[in-house]
Amino acid sequence: MADTLAATEPRLRAGRLDAGALAANFSDAHPPLSAGQALVEAARCYYCHDAPCIEACPTAIDIPAFIARIADGNLRGSAETILSANIFGAACARVCPTEILCERACVRTAQEHAPVRIGALQRHATDALMRTGVHPFARAPETGRHVAVVGGGPAGIACAHRLAMLGHGVTVYEARPRAGGLNEHGVAAYKLPGDFAQDELDFILRIGGITILHDRRLGRDIGLDALRRTHDAVFLGLGHNAVRSLALSPEPLAGVQDAVAFIEDLRQAADKSTVAVGDRVVVVGGGNTAIDAAMQASRLGARAVTIAYRGAPELMSATRFEQDWARTSGIRIRAWSNPRALHGAAGQVTAIEFDGGGPGQGHGPDIEPADMVLIAVGQRFDGGLFGAGPSAVPAMAAGRILVDAGQATSLPGVYAGGDCTAGADLTVQAVQDGKVAALSIDAMLRAASA
């Protein structure tokens, strides 16, 4: 019956599931700890002196200290410990790959193969503070200096927040109608459900001294040279501003979409039943974006979802946790599947063809039926938005903005961080870059005033 329906119904359609099923599928994927559970989990921490979990955290949160405060019932103090190092501590508690960072380093992991649930405890404390609506930090006296931050994602907002704490004025130039970067536009809806990303952003902005101007795109509405003339310093938190594509068909085919755009459309949809999805979906790629796209296609009602990765399964950049989560959710992962061509009929994709030759897979072409193909082969930074001329373009390396240890670029007074620079493409790393850049900018401005 399912195959008959697939042949007669539109291949791409919205409303495959009813409102109740969609609400359940896109609710919070990891329910929070109760107060009792948090106390039990906090008691498992050894409160190590030279804690390896701190070393494993890109923002160097004092993890034993914040857990100890939870154990003492001091949730506000715990949250302040977290947020003083990572102002996006609430989001990172939900989206950070803790299984390869702090929790992998936890001493309990080696002893019991069950680390302290650091991410869940971090969420417990930060959520409690956010519910009060009280911002925990105050601004220093005004310095009279003003900094431009280009990009309202985690790197840019973390930089803006620390600069505001230090007494500087900040204007954030954001290309989209809503700030938040990947937290708002690119993270699976079940990881940061509802309006959490905007609620956290509003909480952060309560520090004061930060103005966000939306629909201001670098290279279109604003230029780097102009920002350098009108501000005392500039921070570039541009993220990934382009995606890699695959030329697999001589003509556009309905049902073929960039996975990042698919995720964004879903996140921004007020009613998820309006988002179209295929019956048979193939996601091309091996990273966490591929996992997020596949999982969300399934949760929208796709009957069969496959992730196709070109190489060996152990080389997939998606974390083992994400891969296992996908498999237990009914997602099929096929390795050694290098895409060769798309097939279609009447302008609609019908199948994707892969090269053969992988271990145990023969040597002929392999065709997978599909009425939706999502491309998740990576994002990149396009430096073309800077324009021309050496005075307007910071030095680049391997397609990213080159920065020093203080996040300074080759242009005086211009700093950068996050995915537009080299390093790990993680929210927590972007936050650290923004924080480090803010401290460098502050030191530069104070030295200039001395």
Q: Residue 10 has what pLDDT?
A: 63
- Tell me: do 197 and 298 sit in the same domain: no
Same domain, yes or no: 166 and 79? no
Do 218 and 282 have their domain in common? Answer: no
Better-scored residue on pLDDT, 165 or 355: 165
Identify whether 30 is part of a domain: no
What are 122-131's pLDDT values in tens digits?
999 999 999 9
Residues 223 and 274 in one domain: no
In a 13 Å sphere around the CA of 178, the CA atoms on its Cβ side amount to: 17
- Tell whether 2 is covered by a domain: no
Rg, C-alpha atoms of the chain: 23
pLDDT band, very low/low/confident/very high, at 395 (cuts 50, 70, 90): very high
pLDDT digits (tens, 9 = 90+) for 208-227: 999 999 999 999 999 999 99
Q: Quick one: 210 and 280 in the same domain?
A: no
Residue 46 has a pLDDT of 95
Picking from 204, 118, 108, the residue whose alpha carbon sits closest to that of residue 156 is 204
Same domain, yes or no: 397 and 327:
no
- Please report whether residue 29 resides in a domain: no
Q: Quick one: 216 and 111 in the same domain? A: no
Cβ neighbour number for residue 296 with a 10 Å cutoff: 27
354 secondary structure, DSSP code = E
Dihedral, 349, 355, 359, 360 alpha carbons, nearest 10: 60
Nearest to 309 by CA among 327, 280, 326, 285: 285
Q: Are residues 365 and 397 in the same domain?
A: no
- From 86, 102, 132, give the residue that closes a domain: 132
Domain final residue, candidates 323, 351, 379: 379
Interval 407-442: pLDDT, tens:
999 999 999 999 999 888 899 999 999 999 999 999
Q: Confidence band (pLDDT; 50, 70, 90) for 388? A: low
The pLDDT-based confidence of 6 (bands split at 50, 70, 90) is very low
Domain membership of residue 14 (yes or no) is no
Report if residue 24 sits inside a domain.
no
CATH code: domain of residue 334: 3.50.50.60
Is 15 part of a structural domain of the chain?
no
Are residues 35 and 120 in contact, defined by beta-carbon separation less than 8 angstroms? no
CB 321 within 8 A of CB 37: no
Same domain, yes or no: 302 and 334? yes
- Quick one: tokens of 125? 């404390």
Q: What percent of the chain has pLDDT over 90?
A: 83
Q: Is residue 357 part of a domain?
A: yes
State the average pLDDT over residues 358-381: 81
- The reply to whether 152 and 247 lie within a common domain is no
Whole-number average pLDDT of the chain: 92
Could you report the per-residue pLDDT of 32-43, keeping only the tens digit for each? 999 999 999 999
Residue 231 lies inside a defined structural domain of this protein: yes
Q: How far apart are the first and last CA of the chain?
A: 78
Distances (CA, A) of 5 to 1, 144, 343: 6, 66, 21
Q: Total domain count for the chain?
A: 3
Asked if 336 and 226 sit in the same domain, the reply is no
Looking at 324, 359, 379, the residue that finishes a domain is: 379
What is the domain-level CATH number for residue 54? 1.10.1060.10
Judgement on whether residues 101 and 185 belong to the same structural domain of the protein: no
**Domain range holding 123?**
35-132
